[in-house]
Amino acid sequence: MDLHRAKMLIILLTAVCLLLVTLFAFCKQTWMLMGGAFFFLLMMLVRTLFNRCPHCRKPLGDHTGVRCPHCGKRL
Ligand SMILES: [Zn+2]
């Protein structure tokens, strides 16, 4: 999975997680909270595995710049 797709997937998983947790606040359905926790863990897994520099493979974390903070190559 390339970096762009990984970032889009992270955004999507975070949005679903927030939606489910917000719905849980109103509906008090336990499955919504469990679903939110599941999507949060899935997002963390995708972030850990795929949010990496395609050149040096080091994790990017919250970095949003155009160049890798480790090797300096264009992302
Ligand atoms: Zn790099």
Round to whole Å and give the CA distance between 49 and 3: 11
- For helices 30-50 and 3-27, give the axis angle rounded to 10 degrees: 160
Cα–Cα distances (Å) from 23 to 26, 39, 61, in that order, read 5, 14, 28
Q: What spacing in Å lies between the alpha carbon of 74 and ligand 1's midpoint?
A: 8
Q: Which amino acid is at 40?
A: F
pLDDT-derived band at 25, boundaries 50, 70, 90: very high
Tokens of 64: 């949003």
pLDDT at 61: 87
Q: What spacing in Å lies between the alpha carbon of 64 and ligand 1's midpoint?
A: 13
Whether the predicted pLDDT of 32 surpasses 90: yes
Average of pLDDT values for 4-30? 95
Q: What spacing in Å lies between the alpha carbon of 39 and ligand 1's midpoint?
A: 28
Tokens of 58: 């080091």
Q: What spacing in Å lies between the alpha carbon of 60 and ligand 1's midpoint?
A: 8
Whether the predicted pLDDT of 64 surpasses 90: no
Q: Model's pTM, two decimal places? A: 0.83
Q: What spacing in Å lies between the alpha carbon of 28 and ligand 1's midpoint?
A: 44
